[in-house]
Structures are given as C-alpha cells and as structure tokens.
Amino acid sequence: MTASHLRQIASVAGLLALWQLLVQTGKLSELFLPAPLSVLAAMWEMTRSGQLPWAVLVSLNRVVQGFVYGAVAGVVLGLLAGAVRWIEDMLDPWVAAVYPIPKSALFPLFLLWFGLGDASKIATIAIGVLFLVLVNTITGVKSINPVLLKAAQDLGASRLQVFTKVILPGALPNIFTGLRLGAGMALILVFITEIEATKAGLGFLLWEAFQLLDTTKVFAGVVTFGLLGVATTWLLQWLERVGCPWLQRSN
Amino acid sequence: MLLALRDIGKAWLIKRTGERVHALQSITLDVHPGEFLILLGPSGCGKSTLLQIIAGLEAPSSGEIRFPDGGGNGKLTSMVFQDYALFPWRTVMGNIVFGPEVRSVSRILREERARRLIELVNLKGAEHRYPHELSGGMRQRVALARALANDPQILLFDEPLAALDAMTRRVLQDELLRIWGETGKTFVYVTHSLQEAVLLGSRIVLMTAHPGRIKQIVDVPLARPRHATGRAEAEMLDRLDGLLGEEVKRAMVV
C-alpha cells in the first residue's frame, strides 16, 4: 500500500469518525445529518426486511431495460449516420433539436403516452441514453483515419466488410465513452422518474422517506444509489477492457 | 509486360475558383515483371495520385490502365502506405491476415501464410502485439507483410520510409531489396529521395510538377548490392540531380 492510498483511507475514515462523534455529542442533529453508523444500521434493517433489495431490483429493471434499448438504438443509428451520408442528413436536425432538451422534461409527455407503469420510465431513460450514445458513436466513426478505409478497400474488403471490420471497431472507444455517460444519465433519470407516479423503486423509497422526514432512510437511499453508480462504472470499465484490448497500455 | 498505363490524366476541379488543376497529364508507362520501378519527383508531381490510380483507389479522368495478363485469382496490386495505415485494434497477426480474411481464405490457411510472412519480414515474436506497441520500423514491416498476404503481382509503395529516422530507413531499404529478391514481385515505389531512388531502383521514372508529367525514364544499370557512397552511385545521383534540379526549383516557386 502506498502513502497515497494511506492518505485516501485516512481522509475518509477521519471524516466519518468526526461526523459520528459530532452527532453522538449532540453537536449535529440526526434530523439533518444522521450518524454514519445509524445509516449503516438502517440499511442492514431495510435489507433484512427485503425493502431495499426489492427497491433496487425494481429500479435496476427500469435502468437496464432503458439503457439497453437506448444504447442499441444509439449505436446502430450512430454507425449508420457516421457511415452513410444521407442518413446523417436526415438525423442531424433531430439530434440538434432533441439533444439539448433535458430528458427529464420529456417524462410528463411519456407519462401521457405510455401510462403510469414502467414503460414511461423506461422510455425516458432510453431517450436519455440514446442521444449520448448516438452523438459519441457518430464522433467515433468520424474520428477514424480515412487512410484505414482506403487500406481495407485496397486489401479487398467489401463495403459491408469495411463497415463491420473497420468502422465498428474504429468507433468502439467512443462508443464506450457514450455508454459510460449514458449509464450515469440512466441513474439520474431513474431517480427523477420514480419521484412521482410510482409506488416502487429506489427513487420512490428515497422520496417517500424524505416526505416522512426519515433522514436516515434518505441517506440509506443516497448511499445505495452511490453503490449502484460505482457498480455500473466497474462493469462498463470491465466491458471496455474486454471489448477494446488494444487500448490497454502494456508495461 | 505486367501493367500498361496509356495516356493517363487526372484533373481536379477547385470548386471555389472553378479552376481545373491537372495533377497528371498524358502518363504513358509500362511496368515490367519483377522490376523495382521508382516514381521520383518533387511534391505535387502527382506521383502518389498515380499510385492510387494503379491501385484502383482513384479513377483517372482520362486514359486507360491495362493488366495484360488478366486478373486471374490473385489480387493484382497491394499498397503499402506512408503512415502504415495499420488497424490499431488488430494485432500484428490480425493485421496481416486482413486481406485473406476478407477474401474468405480459411483461418488455418491464412494464419499459416501470415506466419511465413512474419518470418520473411523478421517479426517473429511480435505476432500478438498491437501496432502502438511497435516501433515505426516494425510497423512498416507489418504493413509490408499485410500487403504481401494477398499475394499481389505488384506491390505499390507510397513513400513508405519517409516517416522513419535515417538509421531505420537504411536498414529497411536493405530489407526491401532482400524481400524484392526473395519474392520476385514487381515493386512500384514512390519517393522524393534521389538517394533512395539510386539505391533501390532498377528503373526510375522522373516526374515533373504542375502538371504532373513524365519527364524521362532512366535505367539504373548499377550492380547490386549498391552503396550509398559508391562512385557509380554518385555519378548516377549527379545525373538525376541535374535532371531534377530545375523541376524542384520550379515546383517550389509555383
């Protein structure tokens, strides 16, 4: 373990200990900042009762579905737009118009169209993910050195082979950037869409706890969201390592 | 005769000014089997464009290209690009098998062919490295092996050593000559280096710029191996220098 690691651990442990101490000596109110150990105890209790795992499962189902639909659509449209001029021309004004809209602002519309169930939430997440993946995929295709396309053609590749063997792998690093940004967006959107019009999910749990002023439970929800964020980052980093082995610098 | 170029012309239209720029004009040239043909000229003489036209990557505006021996099954030409143009996501092996792979050669056959080529270009042990893990010289060896993997009749080189340092260039020049001798392939090689032309070429096509035309075709009857400092080589260099000097000056003014 390096000195840098030690400092990092000391920083986190020290602050948590100070926090715990301030609450126990009554300097901080548990209503505003519940002690770390209380949050941990609440999470344990909520896990044993099944409340927390269920909420996570419900939210994850929405996140994963929305993410997969959005990512697949984004990659396919992005590759086509990057490789075929007229598809890009048709897509361009829509990207320019819809990309800047905060996707949470579309949620009321989707509620109207898809009802109060999972579909409206999944659609909101999917749209959010789609545009991030789409824009990054197009960037990826555009960033491919044109001489590589010439080389592939010179070696006898057909148009389809140029697409699958040059354009797709060439755009992959940027696609993964889009996926990482999209995963972050999916977590933001699942929280927002679970505040209203649902009776299940991590966002609902957190918001309901807030309305009951159960701050410990709110913290439990926040920490769980944090853990989900870390887990998705790890998963995507692992996928990128497997998918783009050439980006790993060897020692 | 392996390849016949008849009255090839290439013109670009500059949209902004409506001007027509003649990159190549009335290029008539025969390429003979097994020769090391050098296309030599100043920047802007269209030598790279001519190479792209031979490769079929660019269409000429006028004139005709013929491969009198006909297509057959093998690929007629393969290009070695100046900046290597290796696929960064493929290993050395993956890059070399690309040609046979898109031509549906079976995995076993293409990997065996690749292994033989890896030996030919002295890359043994580097099979599973990615391009960014290789030096410039090694990258150009991969590019050469990749071009050879399609078993073309003619190898086209677009200033393949221009991006390398002088030492590596010397080593690779000798390697190219060795491989040219071992494979018996026809090399068409673009360069703007007089020394390189004299060291490598069996025939040198001198080109002029604006428009790109053939000024003269010079045979290089010097014995091999040749030496950069040899007397006959120096005389040849002088001769080419005299022929090319005015052209380079003119190209620089324009």
Per the structure, how many domains does chain B have? 2
Residues of A with CB under 8 A from a CB of B: 145, 147-148, 150-158, 161, 165-166, 169-170, 172, 244-246, 250
Residue B254: predicted pLDDT = 43
**Closest B-chain CA to A163:** B102
Does B63 map to a domain? Answer: yes
* B158: CATH: 3.40.50.300
Residues B9/B175, Cβ–Cβ less than 8 Å: no
A169·B81 Cβ contact <8 A: no
The 10 Å Cβ neighbour count of residue A6 is: 10
pLDDT at B247: 67
Residues B144 and B25 in one domain: no
**Residue at which a domain ends, from B111, B133, B151:** B151
- Closest by Cβ to B85, choosing from A147, A161, A170: A147
Which residues on B lie below 8 Å from A160 (Cβ)? none
Six token digits for residue A80: 């086509």
Last residue of a domain, one of B106, B133, B151: B151
Residue B97 sits in the same domain as residue B138: yes
Does A155 sit within 8 Å of B78, measured CB to CB? yes
B81 assigned to some structural domain: no
Tokens of A220: 């439990």
Query: Are B65 and B180 in the same domain?
Result: yes
Same domain for B121 and B16: no
**Is B132 in Cβ contact with A147 (below 8 Å)?**
no
Alpha carbon distance A67, A232 (integer Å)? 11
Q: Is residue B71 part of a domain?
A: yes
Work out the minimum CA distance from A219 to partner chain B, whole angstroms. Answer: 44
**One domain for residues B129 and B171:** no
Residue B231 maps to a domain: yes
Answer yes or no: do B111 and B217 share one domain. Answer: no
Domain layout of chain A by residue ranges: 57-246
- Cβ-contact B1, B68 below 8 angstroms: yes
Cβ contact (<8 Å) for B98 and A172?
A: no
Cβ-defined contact of A246 to B98 (cutoff 8 Å): no
Residue B83 lies in a domain: no
Tell which residue, A190, A79, A87, has the closest CA to residue A137.
A79
- List the domain range (segments joined by +) for residue B231: 3-76+153-253
- Confidence (pTM): 0.87
Considering the domain architecture, whether residues B179 and B231 belong to the same structural domain is answered as: yes
The residue out of B123, B151, B179 marking a domain boundary is B151
Consecutive 10-residue runs of chain B (254 residues): their mean pLDDT? Answer: 91 87 91 95 87 93 85 74 94 97 95 96 95 95 96 94 91 95 95 92 91 91 88 90 74 52
Interface check B89 vs A, CB under 8 A: yes
Q: Does residue B161 fall inside a structural domain?
A: yes
Q: ipTM of this model? A: 0.90
In chain B, the residue whose alpha carbon lies closest to the alpha carbon of A153 is: B57
Q: Is B67 on the interface with A (CB under 8 A)?
A: no
Half-sphere exposure of B146 (CA within 13 A, CB side): 33
Same-domain status, B141 and B53? no
Same domain, B171 and B225: yes
Residues of chain B with Cβ-Cβ distance to A157 below 8 Å are 98, 102
Residues B166 and B241 in one domain: yes
CATH fourth-level superfamily of A57-246:
MetI-like (1.10.3720.10)
Tens-level pLDDT at each residue, chain A (251 residues): 789 999 999 999 999 999 999 999 988 888 889 999 999 999 999 999 999 999 999 999 999 999 999 999 999 999 999 888 999 999 999 999 999 999 999 999 999 999 999 999 999 999 999 999 999 999 999 999 999 999 999 999 999 999 999 999 999 999 999 999 999 999 999 999 999 878 899 999 999 999 999 999 999 999 999 999 999 999 999 999 999 999 875 44
pLDDT at residue B71 in the model:
55
SS3 label, residue A94:
helix
Burial A205-244 (b: 16+ CB within 10 A, else e): bbbbbeeeebbbbbbbbeebbeebeeebeeebeeebeebb
Would you tell me how many other CB atoms lie within 10 Å of the CB of residue A69? 17
